[in-house]
Amino acid sequence: MEQEQIGNDMPQTENSHTPTGFTGEPIESNYKIIEELKNNSDGNTLLVASKDTGDFFILKHVYATGLPYEKLASFADPALPQVIYAKENTAFGVTTVIEEYLTGITLNEWIKQRELEPISDELAKMVFTQLSGGLKTLHENGIMHRNISPQNIMFMAGQVKFIGFDHAAEGKTYDDVPLYKGMVGFAPPEQAVMGKTDFRSDVYSLGMTMQSLLGADYKGKYAKVLEHCLSSVPDERYRDGKQLQKAVKNAGSISLIKIAALCAASYIIILGGIWLTNHFYNPLQQMLAQRAFENEQKEAEAAAADLQLEKGLNGAVSADGAQTDNGASAMAKGKLSLAVAFPNKPQEENAGVTIVHMGKAADFASAGAASGKNRLFFPDNAKIVLSIKNNTDSDIKNPVIKVIPYNIDLSGVNDPPNTITKHLAAAVEYHRDVSIPAGGDMEFTVPLNKAVFLYPSGQNSALKIVLHSDNYADTAAKVAFDFN
C-alpha cells in the first residue's frame, strides 16, 4: 500500500481530469481522479476524491491476484491502513483496492531528515510498541507482510502505520506462500537468499528497521529485544508479532519471579552473614584484615601519585585511561592510531570524519534509477585502506576490524585473503591472527566493489570502522560519502 507523498496544497476536486485510470469496477464511479501518484509494471496508484463528501482516498490497481487485501478489509488496527474496498478480477489479473489516504512521511524520509541521529528510548517505545502491535494483528489474522522496511512505514504526528502490502501473503509457514526475496538490507538471510518467509521473517525485518532508528551500536533498554529479532537462526527469534509485542512491553523490566529470587538470595546472604559472624568471629583475624586493608590503601595512594606524575610529564589521561597530548598529535605514545583512505576519490577531513566526494549519483553506470530503486553499487575498484599505527610499548595482539554500515549494504562484499570474516546482522568483522609490534604499523584493505549504497541521494551513507585488540582500548574512525 505504498502511498506517494504530495504537497500540502492539495488540488481541488473540480480540477480532476477524465478518470482514464479506472478499470470499470462499479464502485470506482463514486470517485474523481485527482492525481496519478505512481504507474509502473506492478500497477498504478491514484489519489481520488469521493464525489459525495470530497474526502481523499487512495485507489490502487495492483497487477496481481491472490493478495490479502480482502482479508485486510475485514479487520482494523491503529498501525495498519484502513482498507475501504478490495476486489480481485482474476480474468484480467488485477486487484482493485481503495484505502484511506495517509498524510505524513515515510520513516526512510524521517531518518534522512534526522541525518542518522539515533532516536531516544522514549521515542523508540512509541514506534516499537505501535508497530509490534500492528504486526501482532497481522499475524493473528494469518498475514505475512514480507516487505517491512523504513520506506514501507508512514510517520504521522506521533503515529506510525505499515504500508506496502503488495507482496503480503496469507499463511504461517514457508510452504504456505510463494517465494519473495524482500528488501535488500532488511530481509532476513532465509528470505534474502532463498525467498522463504514466515512470521519470523517479519520479526527480523521490523528489528532491522528499529536498529536503523536506534543505531548499529545501540545498548539501551531494547538491545536484548533487537538481539533476538536479528538472529540469523529463525528458531532463535520471536515466533510472531504477539511474542515480539510482549517482549517490547516488558523490555527493561524485571519479572516478579526474578524479584522474588533476588529477595530470597538477599535473605539467605543476610542469614549466612549473621551465622558466620556468630560462629567465626576472631579478633586476631580482624586485626590482620585491618592491617592488610591499610597496606592496600597505601599502595593505592602511591599508584595514584605515580599516575599524577606521569600525567604531568606526558599529558592528560582521559576517563577511559587513554593518554592525550593537549592537542599536539593524535599519534601520542600509548595510543593506537587508525587512518582511513578511499583511493581514486577526492576526500577531506571534517570534525574527525573522512568525507569522500563520490560525484553525482546519476553519473554511476550501475545507478538503480532504471529499475525504480534508489540505490547504486560502489565502483568496481572501490576499497577502504586502513593504516593502523602501533604507538604503544608492546605488541597489538589479534586485531579485529569491525565495519558498521549506515544506509550501505555490505552483505555481498568479498572476503579479504588471510582474514577470518564474520558477516553479522548489522556489521562485518575482520579477524587477523597477527600481532603488530611496538612502534610498527599494518595496512589493511576492505574491499567494497560489491557493496551497495541504499539511499545515495540523501547524502547520509557512511561507514564506522572500529579497531579492537586483545590488550588495548578500541579506536574508531568514520567515513561519510558525499554525492554533490
CATH fold of the domain at 106-250:
Transferase(Phosphotransferase); domain 1 (1.10.510)
* Residue 108 bridge partners (DSSP): none
Cell of 108: 526512510
DSSP 8-state code for residue 118 = P
CATH fold of the domain at 336-482:
Immunoglobulin-like (2.60.40)
Mean confidence (pLDDT) of the chain? 79
Residue 148 has pLDDT above 50, yes or no: yes
* Displacement of CA 186 from its chain's centroid (Å): 8
Q: Is the Cβ–Cβ distance between 136 and 241 less than 8 Å?
A: yes
Residue 467 has pLDDT above 90, yes or no: no
Distances in whole angstroms, Cα of residue 345 to Cα of each of 38, 341, 481: 36, 9, 10
> Buried b vs exposed e over 23-33: b needs ≥16 C-beta within 10 Å?
eeeeebeebbb
- In the three-class reduction of DSSP (H, G, I as helix; E, B as strand; rest coil), residue 323 is classed as strand
Q: Is the Cβ–Cβ distance between 168 and 242 less than 8 Å?
A: no
- In the three-class reduction of DSSP (H, G, I as helix; E, B as strand; rest coil), residue 364 is classed as coil
Identify the weakest region by mean pLDDT among 140-149, 193-202, 221-230, 264-273. 264-273
Percent of the chain clearing pLDDT 90 (strictly above)? 39
Average pLDDT over residues 314-331: 34
Q: How many CB atoms lie under 10 A from the CB of residue 472?
A: 20
- Give me the residue spans of the domains in the chain: 13-100, 106-250, 336-482
Cell of 354: 573522512
pLDDT tens-digit series, residues 163-197: 999 999 999 888 888 898 888 899 999 999 999 99
pLDDT tens-digit series, residues 30-44: 999 999 999 998 899
Q: Is the Cβ–Cβ distance between 87 and 61 less than 8 Å?
A: no
Return d(Cα 445, Cα 340) in angstroms, integer: 10
Global pTM exceeds 0.75: no
Return d(Cα 44, Cα 23) in angstroms, integer: 11
pLDDT band for position 12 (50/70/90)?
very low
Return d(Cα 462, Cα 482) in angstroms, integer: 9
Task: Identify the sign of the CA torsion 190, 192, 197, 201.
Answer: positive
First CA to last CA distance, the chain: 32
DSSP 8-state code for residue 275 = H
Contacts 24+ apart (CB under 8 A), 273-277: none
pLDDT band for position 7 (50/70/90)?
very low
Please indicate whether residue 115 or residue 2 has the higher confidence score (pLDDT): 115
Residue written as grid cell 492525481: 35
For domain 13-100, say whether CATH 2.60.120.560 is its number.
Answer: no
pLDDT tens-digit series, residues 45-76: 999 999 999 999 999 999 999 999 999 999 99
